[in-house]
Amino acid sequence: MDQIGLATETPKSPWGQAAPAVAPACSLNDVMSEQLARQLEEEEAVPESVNIGDTSSDLMLAQMLQMQFDREFDDQLRREEKKFNGDSKVSISFENFRMVHPYEDSESSEDEVDWQDTRHDPYRADKPQATPRRGFSGKGKNITTKHDEVTCGRKNTARMDNFAPEVHVGDGLGMDLKLSNQVFNSLKQHCYSEQRRSARLHEKKEHSTSEQAVDSRTRLLMYKMVNAGVLEKINGCISTGKESVVFHADGGSLEEQPVPDEVVLKVFKTTLNEFKNRDRYIKDDYRFRDRFSKLNPRKIIRLWAEKEMHNLCRMKKAQIPCPEAVLLKKHILVMSFIGKDHVPAPKLKDVLLSGEDMKNAFYQVLQMMQTLYQECNLVHADLSEYNMLWFEGKVWLIDVSQSVEPTHPHGLEFLFRDCKNVSTFFQKKDVAEAMNPYELFNAVSGLKIPIGVEDEADFVSEIVALEKRNEDHVQRRGKKTFPVESEDGGPPLNPGVDD
């Protein structure tokens, strides 16, 4: 019996503590019994932070089950959040979908609680204390007015949040900074100045034409031409100048007239920089005098495009080799392309010609200047080897937007300048038949101004006297102006020479 009793004793651990007894096996009925459940709950240690009370209440059991379900739901939500964010620098929090707040969950560890997931931001600036309506607070020596240095400094720091987003105010809002009124006003003025500067730069970029790009309004006009079938497609920029950008395009069709297979779009720049000092070409022209206004500079650019179109129509009627005006839309002029297979004709200054071809070119230029002056009643006013093309054995004139009539107050001066440019160019090319500027001027104008030796000043003074007489003559005749532009900002599609 003693041996049996010793054998049935609970074995002891060598460390002096009793080893846990092996729980006997039980049936399913014992597991589902309520008595066994109460016994297990009594034996289980209850955390001090949770006061369960009487578990015989069904409400308490339901709350415990709901708490456990909420914890499992939050664990699953945390895993989904971690899986969704991954290694991204910008993370998304599912804090609003959690069932149990991290601080209320006693089983959650501190490592699982991120301060960004909480409702409180430790770096958020405290709202400054507002002074009462009466303008002061406190009594006696402790009185504080609205002009208090500390109060005003804190208010100024908080008011920096109202600055524009592009103005960086730093991350010192939680450091109890105090800005004086002088510093705050300086920062505020700087913020307003930067906003105005940014707005000006944005407007200049949106409403201007740069070297090889166009603004949004010009692109819209070009797209409308393509959509209307006037152009098949726009291929790209072929030339840039001080006043315009020239694009090559494939022609489409118009109801009023045929469109060439290859055309160019001359887009006058809308930066206005190159037109400020060139108003004398248009403000004294009787055709545009009543419509010229410095108060609306964008209309001046449209007048430049319209003026070139009318001058081209005059030249085409006189059979002078020049581009043919096809369409005018505001500051975009569509003309025929001088060239072949997308290759523009070279300028006269770049082409290599033989002596005989250069002599023929001089006589062609002389004849064109005479026809332009006598039949078209125009002076090119910017004629040089840069504005003459060589194509199919002929000289072609381009860029006539600044051309004026001889009755212009400076028309004869412009003609003499053209003669000097033409004479200098062909004399450098060793053309023996090239006239000097005085002879060329008389040959083109038909005037008989006496020519002396190196008396350019007297020659120019005589030209100025003739211009004065021409101006008085024009004022007596009372020249008519062009008709008022149409609703879309330009003349008809195929205008005639009505001037």
**Catalytic machinery residues:** 382
Helix, strand or coil for residue 342?
A: coil
DSSP at 60: H
How far is Cα 308 from Cα 295, in angstroms, rounded to an integer?
22
117, 120, 123, 126: CA torsion to nearest 10: 160
The residue whose two tokens read 């707040």 is 101
CA 306 to each of CA 40, 319, 321, 334, 447: distance values in angstroms, whole numbers, following the listed order: 101, 20, 20, 11, 31
C-alpha 73 chain-centroid distance: 50
Could you please report the per-residue DSSP string of 415-478? Answer: HHHHHHHHHHHHHHTT-TTPPPHHHHHHHHH-------SS-HHHHHHHHHHHHHHHHHHHHHHT
DSSP letter string, 445-456: H-------SS-H
Backbone angles phi, psi at 136, to 5 degrees: -155, 160
Residue in 122, 107, 114 with CA at minimum distance from that of residue 49:
107
Q: Which residue spans within 313-354 are E strands per DSSP?
A: 325-329, 332-336, 339-340, 343-344
C-beta of residue 225 within 8 angstroms of C-beta of residue 328: no
The whole-angstrom separation of Cα 493 and Cα 257 is 9
Q: Residue 390 burial (CB < 10 Å; 0-12/13-18/19+)?
A: buried
The count of other CB atoms within 10 Å of the CB of residue 302 is 21
Which secondary-structure segment (H or E) carries 101? none
Cα gap 345→313, rounded to integer Å: 21
Q: Are the C-beta atoms of residues 461 and 389 closer than 8 Å to each other? A: no
Query: Cα separation of 55 and 327, whole Å?
Result: 93
Q: What is the SS3 assignment for 338?
A: coil
